[in-house]
Structure 1
Amino acid sequence: MAGKEWSDADFGGLPSVLVAAHELKTPLSLIRQLTLMLGDDLTSEVDKKQIKQRIVQTSEQALQLTVDLANSANLTPSLFPLEPVNPLAICQQMAVETRFNAVLYGRKISWPRSGRNSRLILANRTLLGRILANFLNNALKYTEDDSEIKVSVKAVGGAVRLSVRDFGPMMSLKEYRRLLDEMDARKTVRTRPESSGLGIYVASQFARAMNGQIGLIRHRDGLTFYVDMPISRQLSLL
């Protein structure tokens, strides 16, 4: 099925307090549960080490979500200026930043190879990195075992598309159409039935601030989330 391009109107205003609370409740509940497991005498030292790593990872994601929400409410050009950016360099940066999470989830991520002919885009490095991070966090949660998450960069018309392809549970056509209908009605955008979609909402706000646009493609074995960014016409020292 063809991809769905989301316009600014698809998302309406800021997310409700209820949606934000739901998204933060899950990691906080998980941290509480993991902390209780640390105090259990039956928990082995090996398991305790993994639990501690998971607590750190979960708390960092929750903290980053609050930062993203704060930034989405104040996306002024002075705070997030645009500049010529090599999208492959952003992918290399994200490969380093997400390596630990990928190991914890037991997932593999394939990244595009670097090349001299990569087109530069006009973007903000911080915001673009957070868009990819939100796409990847979603893919890490829902990709099935032994399936590889694929990150790609390619030219599409007058833009460059950065995509994250997951191989998660198949989304039914009915659920997919419902998701699109919710976007058109300016409701919450859910990436999966049990998701609040807050991370994708944040990604849409960040893309809009950079004159970009996010979209979604449904596959028989997963989803692809992408962001289209305008090609830079400026000279760059990168």
Structure 2
Amino acid sequence: ASNAKSEFLSRMSHELRTPLNSVLGFAQLLEMDVDDPESRESVAQILRAGRHLLSLIDEVLDMARIEAGRMDLAVEAQPVAEVIEEAVALAKPLCGKQQIRIEVIEAEPDLMVLADRRRLLQVLLNLLSNAVKYNRPQGSVTVSYRALDDRIRIEVSDTGPGIPAERVARLFTPFDRLGAERISQEGTGLGLALSKHLIDAMGGTLGFSNRKGGATFHVDLPRAPVAIEERGLAIESSP
């Protein structure tokens, strides 16, 4: 049944992507031709909506692949600081409306983690997006990372209201939006469930804790063996 569902969603994804990519392509061409502010804003809304739909299709398809055991991962040693920097750069455009600040607290340099880079980036971007989306106006998001013996922990903390205790048990349940639909926030309720599956598949854990003045999500992943870290440093320092 899972394989049949995965195949169906894969076909549907292709059928939906083709016209959606056409819409986005024409909207991008239109964006280059319009000059007046009102028209540009209308085109920008088309692009935002189209990209949002594309991300929803990707999430549903990824979830189906995981359930069918067909998610391929390329787990390799990755520089933690570099992946975090990329995720923060992608998340910063989301901060403007509420004037959210994102701060990265750097740990010891050159820490390496064993992960699929693209999927780790996807998870971090999801956590950052949520931290911005459910924050208070002019709030902040803090990203920190450190070594814990043979693991690397990455934490994303916000200054929002936190998550009510009665909803925490359903935090990683697919399609459960934890009441976000009542405040008109976009989403499928798949982001956290998908993130947990991806981190599990990479041999790690994704956890959560409420704290005074916000919430914190943490990702624990295997630390790359020291020999790999040292080899990476040697390559970087060579002429």
Q: Which residue of 2 aligns with 1:57?
A: 48
Deviation per CA, 1:127-162, whole angstroms, max 9, x where unpaired?
Answer: 100101111111121110111111111223431111
How much does 1:218 deviate?
0.1
* TM-score scaled by length of structure 1: 0.67
Q: Could you say what the CA RMSD is over the residues aligned between the two structures, in angstroms?
A: 3.1
Q: Which residue of 2 aligns with 1:217?
A: 209
**Match of residue 111, structure 1, among 96, 104, 107:** 104
SS in 2 for 1:235: helix
Q: Which residue of 2 aligns with 1:193?
A: 179
CA–CA distance in structure 2, aligned partners of residues 180 and 142 of structure 1: 15
Structure 1 unaligned spans of 5+: 1-13, 18-44
CA–CA distance in structure 1, aligned partners of residues 71 and 170 of structure 2: 33
How much does 1:208 deviate?
1.2
Alignment of 1:125-140 (within 5 A): 125-140=117-132
SS in 2 for 1:151: strand
CA contact (8 A) 1:112 1:152 kept: yes
- Tell me if 1:148 matches 2:140: yes
SS in 2 for 1:73: helix
Alignment of 1:1-238 (within 5 A): 46=37, 49-50=40-41, 52-74=43-65, 79-113=72-106, 117-171=109-163, 175-176=164-165, 178-182=166-170, 187-188=173-174, 192-194=178-180, 197-233=189-225, 235-236=228-229, 238=232
CA–CA distance in structure 2, aligned partners of residues 137 and 107 of structure 1: 11
Q: How many residues of Structure 1 are paired with residues of Structure 2 in the alignment? A: 189
CA–CA distance in structure 2, aligned partners of residues 157 and 167 of structure 1: 29
Q: Which residue of 2 aligns with 1:38?
A: none
CA–CA distance in structure 2, aligned partners of residues 159 and 219 of structure 1: 23
SS in 2 for 1:225: strand
- Greater mean deviation of Cα atoms: 215-224 or 195-204: 195-204
Higher relative contact order, structure no. (Cα contacts within 8 Å, ≥ 6 residues apart): 1
Q: Which amino acid aligns with 2:75?
A: L
Identity over aligned residues, as a percent? 20
Q: Which amino acid aligns with 1:127?
A: R
Deviation per CA, 1:11-65, whole angstroms, max 9, x where unpaired?
Answer: xxx9xx9xxxxxxxxxxxxxxxxxxxxxxxxxxx656645644543343233123
CA contact (8 A) 2:107 2:146 kept: no
* TM-score scaled by length of structure 2: 0.66
CA–CA distance in structure 1, aligned partners of residues 206 and 212 of structure 2: 20
SS in 1 for 2:180: coil
Deviation per CA, 1:44-91, whole angstroms, max 9, x where unpaired?
Answer: x65664564454334323312321332333356883210001111101
Q: Which amino acid aligns with 2:52?
A: Q
- 1 or 2, which has the higher helix percentage? 2
CA–CA distance in structure 1, aligned partners of residues 81 and 132 of structure 2: 20
Q: Larger Cα Rg: Structure 1 or Structure 2?
A: 2
